[in-house]
Amino acid sequence: MGKFIVKKDKKGEFRFNLHSPNGQVILTSEGYTTKHSCLNGIESVKNNAVERMKFDQTTSSNGKFYFNLHAANGAIIGTSQMYESKQSCEHGIESVASNAPIAEISDESN
C-alpha cells in the first residue's frame, strides 16, 4: 500500500509526498502554510486520482516526461518525478491512481 508522508520544509511550509509500496516517491505537493491545508491537499489527491482526465502528461525542456494531477478547479495538486520514457510516466500515473485513494498518512512534520 502507498503512503502519504507529510513533512515541514526549511521554509516552514508543509508538503507531502506520495510513496509507492516500494518506497519510491510518485507524487509531490506544493508547499502549504498550514498542516490543515496540506491534509486537505492529500484528500484532494485521494479524490481526484481516480479520474484519468485529471492527469496531464508533459515533456520537460530536457526531454524527460512528467505529469501533474489537477483538482476539480484545475489547480495542480501534485507533480511527479521525471521519467526517461513516456511509458514509464504512464506507469507512474497508474501507480498514483491505484495507490492514492487507499494510502495511509504518516505525519513526520513535528
The residue-averaged pLDDT of 95-108 equals: 97
pTM of the model: 0.94
In CATH, what number is assigned to the domain containing residue 70?
Answer: 2.30.29.80
Domain hosting 13: range is 3-107
Q: Tell me the pLDDT tens digit for each residue of 47-57.
A: 999 999 999 99
- CA quadruple 58, 47, 30, 99: dihedral, nearest 10: -70
In the predicted model, is pLDDT for residue 1 greater than 90? no
Q: Tell me the pLDDT tens digit for each residue of 7-61.
A: 999 999 999 999 999 999 999 999 999 999 999 999 999 999 999 999 999 999 9
Dump the DSSP string for 44-57: HHHHHTT-GGGEEE
Number of domains in the chain: 1
